[in-house]
Amino acid sequence: MEQQERESLLYSKRQGFLSVNHQDDGEDDEESLLGTVLPASMTSSSSSSPFPSGAGNGGRFRASSRSSGPFSFLCCGAASANNNGGSGEKRWQRWAFFLAGFIFFVAFFSLLLLLFFDVIHVANDDLQPSGPSSPRGRFFQLSDVHMDVLYNAAMNRSTLCRQSIPTEAEADFVSPVRGDRVGKSFPYGQYGCDSPVELVRSALDAMYGVDSKPDFILVTGDIPAHALPTRAVHNETIALFTSMVRQVFPSTLVLPLLGNNDVFPDYHLPYGPNTWLSYLADLWSPWLGEEQRGTFIRGGYYSIKIPAATNLRVIALNTVLYSVEFVPTSSDDGPYSSCASNPPADPNSQFVWLKNELAQAKVNKEKVIIAGHIPYGVNEYDGSINWCPSYVDTYLNIIYPFAEDVIINQIFAHYHLDEFRVLLSPRNPQQAASDDAGSATREQTDDAKQVAVSNIMIHPSISPQHDNNPSFRYYHYYRETGTISDYDHFYLDLALVNLLPAPRWILEYTFRGAYAATGVDTTSFAGVWETITSGSSLHFARYLSYKTSLYIANALPNLCAISSTAPRTTSAASSATATSMSPHPPTARISKPRGA
């Protein structure tokens, strides 16, 4: 069997399939075959940037005026550019046949790996748990669990995978059902529906199989399913999830954050201390100390120094307060415009508290991970803003002075997709500290030097509701410095899981291995960004395939994005200028083009 596996991997490499070398400090190189959908020979070498040139285009890409590759006439309406009489139709048929065969081969080969190899136990020293005396620590992150206790395995996405006809609230999340899903049973979940309890239990078991004693687990919000019918079901879902985590990881520190679905109704939460925050503080009291419980009851946020590390602090924000969808009541009384209703300048005094926490961390020579649920910047799906503009300004003015020497990472979620963004400062971060915190405009010139000062990682979901595979992340960091050295991303292929006797979570990629990076820091993210914008279709292909955790249905749209679109050519400076003069923060974003 080992000989057969070596021959299989060797054959894959000879055929040009993407694989990476994952190298760690002082450790042997390890090779892992990634479940990518693209062979290296199919990547293009366009030199244009995949970033939107402004904040308002919502990640849309401009179609190329030239043919960028053999797939351009297949999927993006560029047939006319490649059609020379009858030869165009034959060419289209040949490539269509080849593409269909390639997708079938990838799916078949993945199924063989799942059936015959226990791939979660990869030969990688980085996946071995670290002891308490090790200089290197580990922690997990999972997000947007959206556990649905009403999930019915025999139903489909037309009813949100629930037994009853969708209510008016549920109808917002219902999508058309595919014919091959009718009448079938999917115990571990379906694309377009939220997570059954069995899927969540499977994820926790897989995490335990990777590391039974991590330093901590970060849960970045949205535990209950979308559109649950009653407050009682909503509350019971959070209590059940809490109990499940404690059963699997009884002695592990867990850091839960407040997401928009963790309040009922969605986005509804009164300002200041309230009964719901007190309930959650009591429910999570085994994980939160008295200091953390105090600030959580006051406003849904807290700060904690990681016990297993020397100088690492996690600041858990309540970003629901800043959302354009936020409603400061616990009842659904109709339409409400958060940003236009004269909201308080500092809801629940979180901004003042955040500034003090960062200042104290600097005095104590601590490194900080800022974690929240809803990220600032543009919405991935329609290009709209996430936070009220005044809150974005205030937040940026607070973090700029600490971005380069205190804050090592910003970790958010909410989109259900695997993304990252790079925060660019239009000026010296120390200068921002002396500016008026209420200033809503940042004057810049085209030749202003743009410096990457921070990174924003956006974690995908356990829930497959947005047509993505469930996934979670396993970070490696240095306990003395707090620096994150790498992460391993695991996923569950829902297209195959119901054909197997048991679910198998697969190592999808490692950050350093996938992008040839030296660490998980701002310098590395900026380097990946520069590599992609300079024309690396290889990096762009990986980024797009990881975005929905190798969901096979996105293979063709991803090919369209790489071979048949030409993003606007823009420098880092001009891109940041366009975004920073709008209500959006000056961030550079890599996004899949919509409608490809």
Give the mean pLDDT of 452-472: 94
| pLDDT, position 139 | 98
**Which range, 69-73, 169-173, 548-552, has the best average confidence (pLDDT)?**
548-552
> Closest Cα partner for 380 from 169, 142, 587?
587
155 pLDDT band, cuts 50/70/90, is confident
Torsion angles phi and psi, residue 292, rounded to 5: -65, -40
Would you state the pLDDT for residue 382? 81
Q: Which range scores top for mean pLDDT: 185-199, 247-261, 524-538?
A: 247-261
Distance (Å, rounded) from C-alpha 201 to C-alpha 196?
9
pLDDT computed for residue 311 by the predictor = 93
For residue 306, pLDDT over 60 is answered with: yes
Question: Which pLDDT belongs to residue 436?
Answer: 40
State yes or no: pLDDT of 287 exceeds 50: yes
Helix (H, G, I), strand (E, B), or coil: what is residue 246? helix
- Contact by Cβ (8 Å): 191, 454: no
What's the pLDDT at 537?
A: 73
**Confidence bin at 576 (pLDDT 50/70/90):** very low
pLDDT for the residue 335: 63
Residue of 18 and 407 predicted with greater confidence = 407
Please name every residue paired with 323 in a beta bridge, in sequence order, or none if there are none. 387
Highest mean pLDDT among 50-59, 243-252, 428-437: 243-252
Buried-exposed string 86-101: b where 16+ CB fall within 10 A, e elsewhere: eeeeebeeebeeebee
Residue 391 reports pLDDT greater than 70: yes
Burial of 82 (C-beta count, 10 Å sphere; 0-12/13-18/19+): middle
**Mean pLDDT: which of 40-44, 347-351, 545-549 is highest?**
347-351
pLDDT band at 499 (very low <50, low <70, confident <90, very high): confident
pLDDT per residue over 472-483, tens digit each? 999 999 999 999
3-class secondary-structure state, position 314: strand
Residue 74 has pLDDT above 80, yes or no: no
Report the pLDDT value the prediction gives residue 221, as an integer from 0 to 100. 94
Instruction: Tell me the average pLDDT across 264-292.
Output: 96
Q: Using the structure block, give the residue that is written with the tokens 């003395």.
A: 480
Q: Is the pLDDT of residue 240 over 80?
A: yes
Other CB atoms within 10 Å distance of the CB of residue 177: 16
421-430, 446-455, 571-580 — which is least confidently predicted? 571-580
Q: How many residues does the chain have?
A: 596
Mean per-residue pLDDT, 123-139: 66
Answer whether residue 591 shows pLDDT above 50.
Answer: no
Q: Give the 3-state secondary structure of residue 491.
A: strand
Q: Is the pLDDT of residue 177 over 50?
A: no
pLDDT top residue among 39 and 427: 427
Question: Which of 127-136, 432-441, 486-495, 514-523 comes out lowest in average pLDDT?
Answer: 432-441
Reduced to 3 states (helix: H, G, I; strand: E, B; else coil), residue 478 is strand
Residue 364 has pLDDT above 50, yes or no: yes
Interacting residues of 108 by C-beta distance below 8 A, sequence separation 6+:
none
Least confident segment among 58-67, 92-101, 133-142, 581-590:
58-67
Confidence band (pLDDT; 50, 70, 90) for 156? confident
pLDDT at 263: 96
Average pLDDT across the chain, whole number: 74
Is residue 565 over pLDDT 60? no
What would the pLDDT profile of 394-449 be if each residue is shown by its tens digit? 999 999 999 989 999 999 999 999 999 999 876 554 454 444 433 333 333 344 56
Would the pLDDT of 264 be above 90? yes
pLDDT of 317 > 80? The answer is: yes
pLDDT band at 6 (very low <50, low <70, confident <90, very high): very low
| Local confidence band at 61 (pLDDT 50, 70, 90 cut-offs) | very low
**What mean pLDDT comes out for the span 78-97?**
53
Per-residue confidence band for 336, with pLDDT thresholds at 50, 70 and 90 = confident
Split at pLDDT 50, 70, 90, the class of 505 is very high
Beta bridge partners of 142: 219
- Name which of 14-23, 74-83, 197-206, 286-295 the model is least confident about: 14-23
Place 538 in a pLDDT band, splitting at 50, 70 and 90.
confident
At 14, the amino acid letter reads R
Write down the pLDDT at residue 539: 77
> Residue 281: pLDDT above 90?
yes
